[in-house]
Amino acid sequence: MKLLNSEALLDLLMRQRLLTADQRQFVMLEKGKQRQKLLRQFGKEGGVDKNYPDLVEIIVSFNLFAGGNEAAPLDEETIMLAVARDQEMPFKKLDPLELDMEIVTKKIPRNFAIRQLILPFNIQDGFLEVAVYHPDCQAVLADIEQVVQMRVRPYITTKSDIKRILAEFFGFQRSISAAEDQFGVAAASGSVDIGNLERYVKIASSKEITPSDQHIKQAV
């Protein structure tokens, strides 16, 4: 999983005319200093992402324009769309309202999903569809196929969307579990009154998200 942290990413962006030769040279000269600057800022915010910042995040932090066009900022989504095109992989814009919590939170363990930046979002035609940040994660996908006993179909997406949705969904899942415990719902019984559950979840959600999840949200 080296593409997004290598000079090959800069070459990719140049081929798609999203980075000029001057911009590429600027990034190469300044990326070391910018990485230290971002690390200092991230540390003050309590960040715990050991892989921060990667080259995508460094490029985005420079607030460059795509190909020098001032009408087109070179943001994270633009970069990842270019990666998807280059790797001939589909791009997935994640919408939380379209996702199934059971698939997101049950198919892949939370810590594994966060560490590998992978989010399962759909099952279709016998495939588990997953959103990935790293395009070169074939070994990880093979491990997932072995565990879930399904073929996996990967889609490229942004790191910020994966982190945000994982934090929200796993935090909400814990809030629901806490609410069920609070109202004495046994695992094999029916459902708790939805009005009471919703009120409790709103109150408990901020408490039930672990400190590590809070860091995930802050890093986005």
- Residue 19's pLDDT is 98
pLDDT confidence band for 186 (50 / 70 / 90): very low
How sure is the predictor about 147, in pLDDT bands with cuts at 50, 70 and 90? very high
How much is the pLDDT for 157?
A: 98
pLDDT computed for residue 209 by the predictor: 46
Predicted confidence (pLDDT) at residue 1 exceeds the cutoff of 60 = yes
C-alpha–C-alpha distance, residues 3 and 132, integer Å: 13
Model confidence at 42, pLDDT cuts 50, 70, 90, reads confident
Amino acid 182: pLDDT:
57
Residue 95, CA distances (Å) to 3, 20, 70, 162, 184 in order: 26, 32, 28, 11, 33
pLDDT in tens, 105-139: 999 999 999 999 999 999 999 999 999 999 999 99
Looking at residue 176, its pLDDT comes to 56
pLDDT of residue 140: 96
Residue 39 to residue 127: CA distance in whole angstroms = 38
Q: Identify the weakest region by mean pLDDT among 23-32, 150-159, 169-178, 184-193.
A: 184-193
186 or 35: which carries more pLDDT confidence?
35
> What is the architecture of the domain spanning 96-183?
2-Layer Sandwich (3.30)
Mean pLDDT of the chain: 84
Top-confidence residue, 74 or 210:
74
Domain map (residue ranges) of the chain: 3-87, 96-183
Residue 186 or 76, more confident: 76
